[in-house]
Homo-oligomer: A and B are copies of this chain.
Amino acid sequence: MQETTYHIGEVASRVALSLRTVRYYESIGLVKPSGRTDGGFRLYTERDVQRLLLVRALKPTDLTPEELLELLDLRDRLIADQDSSVAGGAGRQARLHELLERGAQRIKLHRERLVAAELAVELIRATTPLDAPASAEP
């Protein structure tokens, strides 16, 4: 049973990233295609695509590439351990949750910045003559 694979173009459009960005994520080790054609074309499996989606979604966590890679690999290993009921790594769980917590904090920080930005926009809207009030001069 052959696994379905995709070329980079289809993958990039599905995950809404540029070809360049997908290749860049590969170059820093985040998401490597599962294979290549004889001609050198990258081949992505559905798993690879899911991983790309996860990387894209986790961008606002501001984790370094190294941390993000560690997080994704920890997740993979924990899930694998789970399936084979090895349940090996309490340390791995702790580390994963530490990284997730770090990421969650950064998301909160970004949220605060967005609130500040919205306040600034409202401030300007409020301190600037609004939509010309219906002229009072007849």
Contact = CB atoms under 8 A, between A and B. Distances in A.
Report copies per complex.
Answer: 2
Contacts of A118: 104, 107
A114 B127 CA distance: 29
A47 interface: no
Interface in A44-98: 54, 57-61, 71, 75, 78-79, 81-82, 87, 90, 93, 96-97
Interface of A: 54, 57-61, 71, 75, 78-79, 81-82, 87, 90, 93, 96-97, 100, 103-104, 107, 110-111, 113-114, 116-121, 124-125, 127-132
A113 B82 contact: no
Contacts of A97: 125, 131
B110 A61 contact: no
A1 B93 CA distance: 64
